[in-house]
Structure 1
Amino acid sequence: MKLTDFKFEIEGLNIPDTPLEKRDKARLMVLNRAEKTIEHKEFADIHEYINEGDVVIYNNTKVFPARLNGKKEKTDADIEVFLLRELMPENMLWDVLVEPARKIRIGNKLYFGEGDDELMAEVVDNTTSRGRTIRFLYDGPNQDLYDILDRLGKMPLPPYIEREPVEEDKERYQTIFATERGAVAAPTAAMHFTPELVKKIEKKGAEFLPITLHIGWGTFRTVEVEDLTKHRMDSDNYFVSAETSEKINKALKSKKNKVIAIGSSAVRAIETSVMASGMSKPGTGWTDKFIYPPYDFKITEALVTNFHRPESTLLMLSAAFGGYDFVMEAYEEAKEKDYRLFSFGDAMLII
């Protein structure tokens, strides 16, 4: 398939920049692949499609406030640093994007905050035109560093959202499953779940199982090649526990229970953790798995996902799972029925 197969106009579409106050009141479009039917529901109705013995895979990554405003040494010039990923926790090394990049060179020291919250970093390498590697000059434990970032940083909202992040975004750009800090983008399909909805599903005998995939800024990176076979995904760190893997395999072997993935990040993690037998294996590492049509899914049997931006790798993954023609038809229907789209929008369940 080609990049332009996933192009559509977004002008005039319903694209919110905040989530609904009641998360499970979002709309839910249900796509049945076997029957080629489309239903329109409320997200709280998703329990109707989840049964006893099913396993629901969620990403427990937590978005941290990755945007830091600070000053450059000597000149006192204003700078912004966007923390992309932690490279070597023991050495406080991070990959970052910097602005204005032309003024930030190897050896420069950067200052953030003031008083007890003052944080200093040194630029140790150039990675790309805007990319740098920095070392925080901080003597405390990593946990304390993250606490300082929580106080000093701003949330990394999706780049198409033009408003500035506010303090409330530290809560509302998270899922109820968020426990493991390390992401710079939220697994937004899971943002529709509430504690009450999870309990309702669990009472039916289904089980929620965690994986961790720290979503990087590459999830928003523009695909720049028409031939999708030439696109390379950024790598994201993931972890699948032995317990999650074991219970996934039990559901797969049962033939009657489904493995339901919440969001593309959960899919990428579990489809990375596949043995030659087609079963899941526990593990940790980095994945650059790029899923686009056609793709032979080994583990994922149902998918909860949002409506994604045109020409995005997230849309391509949805089309690979639901079928290109069927998913693009569903997007046309979503536009006609004024569904809320993208990160803070409504959801789709593909079964």
Structure 2
Amino acid sequence: MKLTDFSFDLPKDLIATKPSNPRDTSRLLHHISPNRFEDLQFKNIVNLLNKGDVLVVNDTKVVPSEIIGVKANNLGERSKIMFTFIENLKDGIWSCYVRPGKKIQENDIVFIYGVDCKVIKKSKRIVLVDFDSKNYEFQKNLQKHGNLMLPPYISSKRKYKESDREDYQTVYSKNLGSIAAPTAGLHFTEDLLEEIKSKQVNIKNVTLNVGPGTFSKLENEKVEENLLFKEKCFLSTDTSKFLNSVYKDPKRKIIAVGTTTLRVLETSFINNNSFEPIDTYTDIFIYPGKKIKSINSLITNFHLPQSSLFILICAFIGRANAVRMYHHAIKKRYKFYSYGDSCFLNNG
């Protein structure tokens, strides 16, 4: 398969730069069958769920990750550098993105709000820095002075707003660790969740800390040769037992809220057609030809062309169906990407 097989043209004015308000007034495209679509509001999702079904959500919480550092050269000239911190790997060592990358070299010393770090490794995609014994002080500064990282298709069009701190979190987020939101969950409100629960639909949590593995650009034209970054994920023993009971009941459905949730479930479901508890890292890459077995339905936003997420959608409902659905969404002027609208898909 070629990466270009997963291309489509999207009018730029359909890229959402702000969320719907209230959240559940966003639009929901129900993919009923290859040629049947239903245009709904997200709050109508209640009508697509039945007693005994289970919604599985990613309860990760987005942490401040973008912050400016300053590097001085031998002449005392100061350069401002934007850091996006991905993960505290161990002790004071962090992985990060740097912009502009050409200003940073190995062994450079950078100051971030008075805390110094040393660049210990620079690769094509990732930089490693070490805060050594000042790691705790740095983390406090990052929480206080850092911003959430908005996707470039938003940040290139407008400045970061204080309201993004709330808008770019799901209402059920609790486990710190992501640098990007699991965006399918952004459409839920507290009231909508209560309405869903009142219908005796269960809600279970998993965690995947969203990082480069979710949103990084694929580099190889041959789809199967691409590798994703590993991301931390967790599914508890109690949740695995509950999901196994639902999976064995043909009258009940497992609905994943978002592609990150689906990737956790597929990572857990690899052996013996049953869910197993996991506390690990996953780099699972789902593309056409790989059968998705763990869920009945998927709620997800509309994704970028040639992205691992759009390719996952093609694996779930078939490439032709996915392209047809996206063309319908464009014609009906659905909003795309993180702050955009969503769709409800059934396992094809």
Structure 2 length-normalised TM = 0.92
In the alignment, which of 261, 264, 269 is matched to residue 269 of structure 1? 264
Which one-letter code corresponds to 1:106 in the other structure? E
Task: Supply the distance in 1 between the matched residues of 2:177 and 2:140 (Cα, whole angstroms).
Answer: 13
Percent pairwise identity: 33
Partner in structure 1 of residue 16 of structure 2: 16
Task: Supply the distance in 1 between the matched residues of 2:13 and 2:134 (Cα, whole angstroms).
Answer: 48
Task: Supply the distance in 1 between the matched residues of 2:105 and 2:196 (Cα, whole angstroms).
Answer: 53
Q: 1:218 to 1:272 in 2, by over 3 A?
A: closer
Partner in structure 2 of residue 133 of structure 1: 128
Tell me the CA shift for residue 56 of structure 1.
Answer: 0.7
Contact 1:261 1:267 in 2 (8 A): yes
> What is the 5 A alignment of 1:160-179?
160-161=153-154, 162=156, 163-179=158-174
**Are 1:110 and 2:110 matched, yes or no?**
yes
Which one-letter code corresponds to 2:97 in the other structure? L
Which one-letter code corresponds to 2:80 in the other structure? D
Partner in structure 1 of residue 180 of structure 2: 185
Partner in structure 1 of residue 190 of structure 2: 195
Tell me the CA shift for residue 72 of structure 1.
Answer: 1.4
Partner in structure 2 of residue 148 of structure 1: 141
**Are 1:158 and 2:151 matched, yes or no?**
yes
Partner in structure 2 of residue 121 of structure 1: 117
Deviates more, 1:276-285 or 1:148-157: 148-157
Note the alpha carbon deviations across 1:98-141, whole angstroms, 9 max, x for none.
Answer: 2333332333322222xxxx433222222x13632112245575
Tell me the CA shift for residue 199 of structure 1.
Answer: 0.6
Q: 1:145 to 1:252 in 2, by over 3 A?
A: farther
> What is the 5 A alignment of 1:238-257?
238-257=233-252
Partner in structure 2 of residue 77 of structure 1: 79
Contact 1:159 1:220 in 2 (8 A): no
Contact 2:207 2:235 in 1 (8 A): yes
Contact 1:28 1:43 in 2 (8 A): yes
Task: Supply the distance in 2 between the matched residues of 1:164 and 1:16 (Cα, whole angstroms).
Answer: 14
**Are 1:211 and 2:206 matched, yes or no?**
yes
Partner in structure 1 of residue 341 of structure 2: 346
In the alignment, which of 283, 308, 325 is matched to residue 330 of structure 1? 325
RMSD: 1.8
Tell me the CA shift for residue 178 of structure 1.
Answer: 1.2
Tell me the CA shift for residue 43 of structure 1.
Answer: 0.2
Which one-letter code corresponds to 2:51 in the other structure? E
Give the 4+ runs in structure 1 shifted more than 6 A. none
Task: Supply the distance in 2 between the matched residues of 1:171 and 1:146 (Cα, whole angstroms).
Answer: 20
Contact 1:24 1:192 in 2 (8 A): yes
Q: 1:57 to 1:235 in 2, by over 3 A?
A: same
Structure 1 length-normalised TM = 0.92
Which one-letter code corresponds to 1:302 in the other structure? S
Deviates more, 1:207-216 or 1:130-139: 130-139
Task: Supply the distance in 2 between the matched residues of 1:31 and 1:159 (Cα, whole angstroms).
Answer: 28
Task: Supply the distance in 2 between the matched residues of 1:100 and 1:202 (Cα, whole angstroms).
Answer: 47
Task: Supply the distance in 1 between the matched residues of 2:28 and 2:260 (Cα, whole angstroms).
Answer: 19
Q: 1:130 to 1:238 in 2, by over 3 A?
A: closer
Partner in structure 1 of residue 43 of structure 2: 44
Report SS of the residue matched to 1:254.
coil
| Unaligned residue ranges in structure 1 (runs of 5+) | none
Q: 1:87 to 1:29 in 2, by over 3 A?
A: same
Contact 1:62 1:186 in 2 (8 A): yes
Tell me the CA shift for residue 3 of structure 1.
Answer: 1.4
